[in-house]
Amino acid sequence: MKSLIVTGGGSGLGKVIAEHAVESGYRVGILDVDEEAVQTTANEIDLPEKVIPLVASVTSEEQIQNALNAFEAIPDAWINNAGIVKFGPLLDQPLEDWRSVVDVNLTGTFIASRTVAKQMKDKGGGSIVNLTSINGISAGTNSGAYGSTKSAISLLTQQMSIEWGKFGIRVNSLAPGLIDGGMSEPIYANPEFRKIRTEKVPIGRLGLPSDVAAAVLFLCSENADYITGHELVVDGGIINSIIANLPRPSSVDSVGLDGD
C-alpha cells in the first residue's frame, strides 16, 4: 500500500488532503503540533488501519524523526502543508511574530523535507509537495512574513528538486488561491468580503479544500512522474487577472476594431 504523511493534517486543508489520500488508497500519517486536532481528525476518518496520528512540530528535527519512526515506514509522499500567518503592518509587526512565521513555514518545510528525503534516498525515491500561496507570487498588504516565506518555499522547492532528482525524489510546490476553508474561514464567513472576493475570481467561485487536495494527489501520483521543481497554481485564474481588473476607457478599447 502507498503511504503519505501530511503536516498540519489536524485541520483545514491538511485534514481534507488526508481524507482524500485515504480515499485514494494511501496509508496516511496525520502530523500536527495540535494533539487534540490530530486525534479528532484520525477518529473522524475512522479507518484505524489506514490512519496514523503523529504529534510533532515541523520546527523540530528530532520530533519529525520520531514521527517518521512511529509511522514505521518510509512514506512514498510527504506533504508540507503546516503553515501559519500573523497579520499586521510591517512597520508595527513584532519581531517574534515575523520569526515564528519564518520558523514554521520556511524552516519547518526545510527541516521536514530534509529529514524525510534522507530516508526516501535510501528507499530509491519519493514525492514531496510544499504548500505555498498566490501571496508568495503577488504581495498582499499586512500579511507580515507570510508572502515572503511562501516565495522562499517556491525557490527552496526548485533547489531541493535539482539536488535530490538523482535520488528519484520529486519536489513540487502548490500555490492555492482564495480557498473557502482553513485559515481563510474568518474572511469568507463575512458575506461582504465573500461576495467581493468571489466576483474577482475568473472561474466564478472560491476554491474548495478538495480542489487543493486533488491537485496535491496528482503531484504525488505516477501521472506526475516527470514533473519536478514546478509550482502548480490552483486559483481559478485570479493571479493572472491583475491587468484585467484595471479599467480602460472604451475609446481606447475600440481602437483597431474597425480599422482605425
Cβ atoms 7, 29 nearer than 8 A: no
Q: Tell me what percent of the chain is helix, strand and coil, each rounded to the nearest 5.
A: 50, 15, 35
Decide if residue 8 touches ligand NAD (CB under 6 A): yes
Q: Which of 22, 37, 117, 215 binds ligand NAD (CB under 6 A)?
A: 37
Cβ atoms 40, 17 nearer than 8 A: no
- Smallest separation (angstroms) from ligand NAD to the CB of 182: 2
Decide if residue 148 touches ligand NAD (CB under 6 A): no
Decide if residue 113 touches ligand NAD (CB under 6 A): no
Q: For cell 496514523, name the residue.
A: 52
Decide if residue 10 touches ligand NAD (CB under 6 A): yes
**CB of 49 or CB of 192, closer to ligand NAD:** 192
Residues 41-100, interacting with ligand NAD (CB under 6 A): 57-59, 81-84
| Amino acid present at 93 | Q
Decide if residue 34 touches ligand NAD (CB under 6 A): yes
Segment holding 127, helix H or strand E? strand 126-131
Q: Identify whether 146 is a catalytic site residue.
A: yes
Q: Which of 11, 172, 173, 228 binds ligand NAD (CB under 6 A)?
A: 11
| Amino acid present at 125 | G
Beta bridge partners of 160: none
- Smallest separation (angstroms) from ligand NAD to the CB of 7: 5
Decide if residue 184 touches ligand NAD (CB under 6 A): yes
Q: What are phi and psi of 51, to 5 degrees?
A: -125, 125
Task: Show the cell assigned to 240.
Answer: 493572472
Decide if residue 131 touches ligand NAD (CB under 6 A): yes
Side-chain-facing half-sphere of 96: CA atoms under 13 Å: 0
Catalytic residue among 26, 146, 188, 226: 146
Distance CA 161, CA 12 (A): 27
Pick the stretch among 42-50, 161-169, 178-186, 225-233 that binds ligand NAD (CB under 6 A).
178-186
Task: Show the cell assigned to 253.
Answer: 478599447
User: Which positions touch ligand NAD (CB under 6 A)?
Assistant: 7-8, 10-14, 32-34, 37, 57-59, 81-84, 104, 108, 131, 133, 176, 179, 181-184
Q: So which residues are the catalytic ones?
A: 146
